[in-house]
A and B are shown apart, each in its own frame.
Chain A
């Protein structure tokens, strides 16, 4: 066996790494874990909140996972999480089920607003789209496959002028909200779109693809893609997705983001939810590109906070 002695250092190193990790952890009596799960729209924000909250309150560690609003609410129903994130409001049967399982009523917290913006490649000459045009592009009853069908647009650099629809996975809250709000409640999306898993994927794809059109949370819009304004009613104004328009709800594709708990939040969970309403968490909301809940903040407040956070690190 002697000849394999040379392996020992490696084995030691591996064990050292593993047990070194044990040394780094906090001991379980020291802190409480808050389980937080759900909407992929909210997951980035929830993660930043968790990270910052952990810095000011060392007694609590918040674990965040995504998976979609449905997953979060399902986990809440099964009492597997403390807080469920959702980008849609809970359905009646879901809250009933949760009450049956746990005996507690589900409590709703509006933690932020999210506006969906429709975006295209910067070389696309379009500035805005109407609701009917969006339905024609994305809806199952529409037939817009070519950019020339939309206001005779010709997109430079786009082969065959074909529209490439970038959508999201059918369970994502973003998909469902876009479908219900823009296409219609009792409608389907047209098949054949690229159904991507995450916002980053959609944005990366559109910024590389002149033919493409996609939709995503307003917070993710960057300089490499062009957000379009949306005309909701025929003949109405084309409303650009901005903070002001979203907060005063003139931008039509705006939704509330929720956190749900079983019963009234208590103890550390309650403290955390209170902190989320506060100024530090709100700065993070703005920084991440979401919109603070108008229930707690006015547009002036938000603009002031926005000026403050400019150039600041999280």
Chain B
């Protein structure tokens, strides 16, 4: 009886080793390579984005393009019967203006909110606040643009008595509201990653909550907070539809926060549809796309390094 069972088990085991095990291993190998390819996809797409943007911009980059003209000339005449000029200075300045404007608002509010929900408020409020911030983050950018045109625009004209409602100010507020969720969530992560032992040690020395936050938590989470701000900046630089609708689209160096400007992203969005494929104008727009890509890539790269540093300590 006993021997039979053992025989049976032995048979099953050899069956497993002979037939089942190789199949199992084979399937594992196949799946592993498929999964590896999946893992590679992000790299492939990143390289692909660079490649295709450069490929389409290349004929212009390799011939007529002059970095001096591109960066320092204000004359953006992509279509002209006199002479085409591709000076993107005003576009870079426009992007910088709305980004700085939005950050003036978004950094204090975003970091303040992150500190508040991470350090001061109770768990219930925290849960609710985080959900609300998530909802804020989910509003599509075209809806923000719509709000800029339909709500902010008349507000600026009628209440602030400025002649034009579509300007740096309008776009900055909209962009601030769009980038705050990102600053809050990454900033909150950074603050949370400061070990509780830090807080306990400081409090046991008699520091108040505020002192703990200012003297201990913020310095400890500094890198993460800077990364949060940088990613917010990246978001503001790359935003398209909202600024397309809110900035007023004027190729000019702004002389006040109520001047209309034009950004890099909005220029691409507005002009690409009408630029004949393969024309110089089309290639120039791809060149703008490339500069956007480089800007956001360096922002992401730096913030990644900062975040990595702040994780390491944890």
Contacts and interface: CB of A to CB of B under 8 A. Distances in A.
A159 B167 CA distance: 15
Contact of B262 (A66, A188, A195): A195
A141 to B, nearest CB: 11
Given A170-B78, A170-B271, A209-B157, A194 B164 contact: yes
B153 interface: yes
B183 to A, nearest CB: 30
B251 interface: yes
Interface string B273-289: 11111000100000000
B81 A191 contact: no
Contacts of B307: none
Contact of A171 (B76, B79, B262): B79
Interface in A94-130: none
Interface string A155-193: 000111010100001111000100110000111100111
Contacts of A204: 149
A193 B271 contact: no
Given A187-B81, A188-B77, A193-B250, A67 B274 contact: yes
Contacts of A248: none
Interface in B244-262: 244, 248-252, 260, 262
Contact of A194 (B153, B162, B250): B250
Contact of B80 (A67, A71, A188): A188
B163 interface: yes
B311 to A, nearest CB: 32
B81 A186 contact: yes
B163 A162 contact: yes
A205 interface: yes
A180 B81 contact: yes
Contact of B82 (A186, A193, A211): A186
Contacts of B164: 164, 194, 205, 209, 211-212
A17 B135 CA distance: 25
B271 to A, nearest CB: 6
B177 interface: no
Given A68-B273, A171-B271, A209-B157, A185 B248 contact: no
A197 interface: yes
B163 A159 contact: yes
Contact of B274 (A171, A191, A196, A210): A171
Q: Which of B163, B166, B281 has the most CB of A within 10 A?
A: B163
B270 interface: yes
A209 B90 CA distance: 24
Given A162-B163, A208-B165, A191 B76 contact: yes
B161 interface: yes
A124 B19 CA distance: 91
A70 interface: yes
Contacts of B250: 192-195
B258 to A, nearest CB: 9
A192 B252 contact: yes
B252 A171 contact: no
Contacts of B59: none
B166 A158 contact: no
Given A191-B75, A194-B248, A195-B249, A71 B273 contact: yes
Contacts of B244: 197
A205 B251 contact: no
B154 interface: yes
A11 B218 CA distance: 44
A191 B271 contact: no
Contacts of B154: 208
B98 interface: no
Nearest to B281: A171
B242 interface: no
A193 B251 CA distance: 7
A164 B79 CA distance: 22
A187 B81 CA distance: 7
Interface in A127-166: 158-160, 162, 164
A201 to B, nearest CB: 8
A185 B252 CA distance: 24
A303 B82 CA distance: 42
Given A191-B251, A195-B251, A211-B163, A71 B274 contact: yes
9 contacts: A68-B274, A171-B271, A191-B76, A194-B166, A194-B249, A196-B249, A197-B270, A201-B149, A211-B164
Given A169-B271, A192-B250, A194-B248, 9 more contacts: A67-B273, A170-B79, A171-B79, A171-B275, A187-B81, A191-B252, A192-B251, A194-B249, A195-B249
Interface of A: 66-68, 70-71, 74, 158-160, 162, 164, 169-172, 176, 179-180, 185-188, 191-197, 201, 204-205, 208-212
